[in-house]
Chain A
Amino acid sequence: MRSVLDPAGPQAAHIAALWWWMFWIFSTVFVLVIAALLVGIFRARARDDAVMTSPSVALQPTRERRIGWTVAACVGLTIVVLIIFLAANVITGHRLALLAADNAVTIQLTGYRWWWKVRYPDPVPARQVTTANEIHIPIGRPVLINTDSQDVIHSFWVPSLHGKRDLVPGNPSAIWIQADRPGRFEGQCAEFCGLQHAHMRLLVIAESEENYQAWLEAQRQAARAPSDPLAQRGLHVFETGPCALCHSVRGTEASGQVAPDLTHFASRATIAAGTLPNSPGHLAAWIVDPQHIKPGNAMPSNSLSPEDLQALLAYLGGLK
């Protein structure tokens, strides 16, 4: 679900309320303007008939004065409406700032061209969780997302949860979100960031506290060692081939830090930041020719032998 008008948390609810205020006031203004226009047209038409019969049109001081007052009143009303919006904007911002912030979940979000690195910090380094393009949050708890960017300006925007927050390289910022009902909320990079800006999506999954804790605990585990021979060969391909230089799988030799962490890759819903659903067929196409699917992204095309590719798919598919 991806709509500002379908708020799932207090922040988005405030913003949606402001939106509806604007909608109704502007609708009223629109109706009034159109009504005035129609009245003007029909009255002028009726008068035109009269003017045709009497050739001289004299200036009428009372009429001129009435027109002047009407214009002044409309200008005054416009200013009042603008001031009301200014006040509503300030009040909304104030309410957003006052929202409860205790017992918060903290997440570090870093933008890359063109994917999102998501890190759940923990005082114990071994318990840190690193994943990509998918944020899990518990419902009913405020979430502090600390943002930063690695290369260019990106913008974090999950319409159902909050407004936008720019990720400016070298300028860490933060945004508070909260979901009050479970669901999958789609997000999208909202600042043009290059060729694949449109393919830079993310998914926020809000779930109950128990489910969230279970997910977090599962993510903390190192990757399971593959049991069947095919997947074992896949691990070998992963560790000795070109994958490991950029990607990491915790618990193996692969520890590249410049591409998405794949430790629990099979638990994610999409690959390449929401570009493709995470299925073996799509994954195979992505590994062999990512430049065809997402031209310009940092992953090079790889030519693997069919056996190696199948082994790699079996291994990655097992990284639950």
Chain B
Amino acid sequence: MIWQAQAPLQNSCNRKHTRVGAALAFLLALAFTGCEREQRRFSEIAPLSGRPQPQANTELRPGMPGAPGAGAQSKTTVPAPYGENGWAISEGKRLYTWFNCIGCHANGGGGMGPPLMDDKWIYGSDPESIHASILQGRPNGMPAFGGKLADQQVWQLVAYVRALGGFARKDLRPGRNDDMAVRSSEQAMKSRTAESAGSALPEREQPR
């Protein structure tokens, strides 16, 4: 009623309302992205990892005339949600200890096995390459886990290993350690772009 009596004031009030509305819409949008980030996909179809997929670690391919990108077709496709999902990354962190990745790679710093936090990726740092390394094993000690892990678990591990390497968005990485802290949390670690990592494979563009 006061607004009706005082026209200029009404104008400023309306503007204020619009601003509040915009802020609310922004918060709501944020909330929705949050849902996506934390969504827990328990019942995802998890086929046995089964036979390891053949994986190319070099650009050299057997004769496929006139098809420059043809080799890429054979790669397993990454279920995008895992790298973009905070829950999957934290599950990967749990499995990383459970399945004794720690035994060789320590908490990412490496030991008997190569470190996972540095710039060097002997067999590639893209999700498909890490997936293949876990399933097929690698020379000098990395065992093959193909057929031993549900595929969902493998992708969760891939998501976590990439987070260790600094490839995951900061707000997705685990913020603290459940056990005794032997190093800072993943969230506090340096972010890395695909270009800065020395990799055997040319990196694909990472989804953001």
Chain A residues with a Cβ under 8 A of chain B: 151, 240-242, 244-246, 258, 289, 291-292, 295-296, 298, 300-304
Contacts and interface: CB of A to CB of B under 8 A. Distances in A.
A303 B152 contact: no
B147 A242 contact: yes
Interface in B143-157: 145, 147-150, 152-153
Contact of A303 (B40, B42, B46): B46
Given A246-B98, A300-B150, A302-B150, A241 B42 contact: no
B48 A295 contact: no
Interface residues of B, number: 19
B64 interface: no
Contacts, number: 44
Given A242-B149, A245-B99, A301 B45 contact: yes
A296 B99 contact: no
B42 A295 contact: yes
Given A242-B48, A303-B48, A304-B48, A289 B148 contact: no
A314 B175 CA distance: 44
Contacts of A244: 148
B54 interface: no
Contacts of B94: 298
B40 A296 contact: yes
Contacts of A246: 98
Interface of B: 40, 42-48, 94, 98-99, 145, 147-150, 152-153, 178
B46 A245 contact: no
Contacts of B48: 241-242, 302-304
Nearest to B180: A170
Contacts of A296: 40, 42
Nearest to A240: B147
Nearest to A259: B98
B147 A245 contact: no
A298 B98 CA distance: 11
Most chain B beta carbons < 10 A, residue from A244, A296, A301: A301
Given A242-B48, A242-B148, A291 B43 contact: yes
A303 B50 CA distance: 10
A292 B43 contact: yes
B50 to A, nearest CB: 9
A301 B150 contact: yes
Contact of A151 (B47, B147, B148, B178): B178
Given A289-B43, A292-B43, A242 B150 contact: yes
Given A301-B46, A302-B150, 5 more contacts: A291-B42, A296-B42, A300-B152, A301-B44, A301-B45
- List 10 tightest A-B contacts by C-beta distance, closest first: A300-B150, A291-B42, A295-B42, A291-B43, A301-B46, A258-B98, A300-B46, A303-B47, A245-B148, A242-B148
A308 to B, nearest CB: 10
A291 B91 CA distance: 15
B147 A301 contact: no
Contacts of B46: 300-303
